[in-house]
Amino acid sequence: MRRIGILTGGGDCPGINAVIRAVAKTAINDYGWEVFGIEDGYLGLIENRFRRLTYEDVSGILTLGGTILGTSNKTNPFAQPTKFKKRIVFRDFSRRCLNNFEKMKLESLVCIGGDGTLRIAYKFFEKGVPVIGIPKTIDNDVWGTDQTFGFDSAVLNATEAIDKLHTTAQSHHRVMIVEVMGRYAGWLALCSGIAGGGDIILIPEIPFSIEKVCEKVKERSRRGKRFSIVVVAEGAYPQGGKMVVQRIVKDSPDPIRLGGIGNFVAKQIEDRTEIECRVTVLGHLLRGGGPSAFDRILATRFGEYAVRLIKKGNFGEMVVLQGREIGSLSLAEAVSRIKKIPPTHHLLKVALAMGTSLGV
């Protein structure tokens, strides 16, 4: 009987449990394989923490947010941040992981994660581990797939928040600034901004001019629209300026956490237009809760397809959505870059056609 391992790494997002369920059910139902969940991402692989996932374990988790396996965004087995004499040093635990993989008697490993997790998955593949990747993140920034699961749910969460801010913005004649996550890509801001009818959308791919932002607010005011909604990505920054770093997580392989640009934009607008502003940072609310119907379906399709790839022996691949079809791509290609919004992307034109300003 084949034994497959599964782990979830990096920041969580809605739909992870749906993927775990889909992998386990397909493996158990269609092939009679055994499935083992590795706890807390790669940390469980370093520490040899894993448990068998039975059919009952994965039943009833489709709609559940988070991950039943736990995750870690502070683990990189190839350069693990470790405290040594009050300092952080980076140690290579990859050999230990390979030994544990053998001890667990696993024959393949499904790694569910964003670009960081997938990059590590690729390194293990290069070391001989039969790996399959599944792209997960609210940022939608994984190269090679039209969409990651988790993104649609986050867009929905952001859109609902924007809708609510709209009504209070109207009543108080205020400018509401909504800061959304997304790291170095503006997908979440752009899509929720369009869905929520944002008046100004600011994304990292297009450094903004604060003058243009204020012009838009004033122009709306002149036309009798005494409120505005600004959707700003955490990675957006002014022309000639820099991204705002909220904190450095020293013991994280990717230590930069963005955040704070919303306050900067609010201060600038208030100073230049004298219109009252309020800032709402949606933060981790975007990642919480259960998956949307779209994400449930996408996660289920991804999980099912990952098992088919294992069956065919197509390791070193990541499942992808291309158009309406599920397929796969080499992990080497998938981790070669991150997916940002290209300048010619149709959604940018759509936003502009709606009269939305992109701050330029």
Q: Tell me: does residue 258 bind ligand F6P (CB under 6 A).
A: yes
Q: Taking the complex as a whole, how short is the minimal distance between the CB of residue 287 and ligand F6P, in angstroms? A: 5
Q: Tell me: does residue 140 bind ligand F6P (CB under 6 A).
A: no
Closest chain position to ligand F6P (CB):
181
Cβ-Cβ contacts under 8 Å for 42 (sequence gap 6 or more): 7, 9, 72, 75, 76, 77, 97, 117, 120
Q: Taking the complex as a whole, how short is the minimal distance between the CB of residue 25 and ligand F6P, in angstroms? A: 27
d(CA 182, CA 144): 17
Q: Which of residues 192-221 bind ligand F6P (CB under 6 A)?
A: none
Q: Which residues does residue 142 pair with via DSSP β-bridges, in sequence order?
A: 338
Sign of the C-alpha dihedral computed for residues 7, 10, 16 and 22 taken in this order: negative
Q: Taking the complex as a whole, how short is the minimal distance between the CB of residue 149 and ligand F6P, in angstroms? A: 13
CB atoms within 10 A of CB 287: 20
Whether residue 139 lies in the annotated active site = yes
Q: Tell me: does residue 257 bind ligand F6P (CB under 6 A).
A: yes
Q: Tell me: does residue 138 bind ligand F6P (CB under 6 A).
A: yes
Q: Tell me: does residue 73 bind ligand F6P (CB under 6 A).
A: yes
Q: Tell me: does residue 119 bind ligand F6P (CB under 6 A).
A: no
Binding-residue total with ligand F6P (CB under 6 A): 13
How many CA atoms within 13 Å lie on the side-chain side of 261?
35
Q: Taking the complex as a whole, how short is the minimal distance between the CB of residue 195 and ligand F6P, in angstroms? A: 18
| CA-based nearest residue to 155, from 17, 256, 295 | 295
Among the listed ranges 63-71, 178-186, 211-219, 273-281, the one in contact with ligand F6P (CB under 6 A) is: 178-186
d(CA 110, CA 113): 10
| Helices and strands counted in the chain (H then E) | 11, 15
Residue 200 dihedral angles phi and psi, to the nearest 5° = -140, 130
Q: Using the minimum distance from each CB to ligand F6P, give the nearer residue, 182 or 303.
A: 182
Which one of 12, 139, 199, 295 is the catalytic residue?
139
Q: Tell me: does residue 16 bind ligand F6P (CB under 6 A).
A: no
Q: Using the minimum distance from each CB to ligand F6P, give the nearer residue, 118 or 181.
A: 181
Cβ-Cβ contacts under 8 Å for 95 (sequence gap 6 or more): none
Among the listed ranges 19-27, 137-145, 225-233, 336-344, the one in contact with ligand F6P (CB under 6 A) is: 137-145
Q: Which residues does residue 50 pair with via DSSP β-bridges, in sequence order?
A: 38
Q: Taking the complex as a whole, how short is the minimal distance between the CB of residue 345 and ligand F6P, in angstroms? A: 19
Q: Taking the complex as a whole, how short is the minimal distance between the CB of residue 11 and ligand F6P, in angstroms? A: 4
The answer to whether the beta carbons of residues 80 and 72 sit under 8 Å apart is no
The answer to whether the beta carbons of residues 335 and 122 sit under 8 Å apart is yes
Site for ligand F6P (CB under 6 A): which residue of 34, 39, 40, 139?
139
Q: Tell me: does residue 183 bind ligand F6P (CB under 6 A).
A: yes
The answer to whether the beta carbons of residues 333 and 188 sit under 8 Å apart is no
Active site residue ranges: 139
User: What residues line the site for ligand F6P (CB under 6 A)?
Assistant: 11, 73, 114, 137-139, 181-183, 234, 257-258, 287
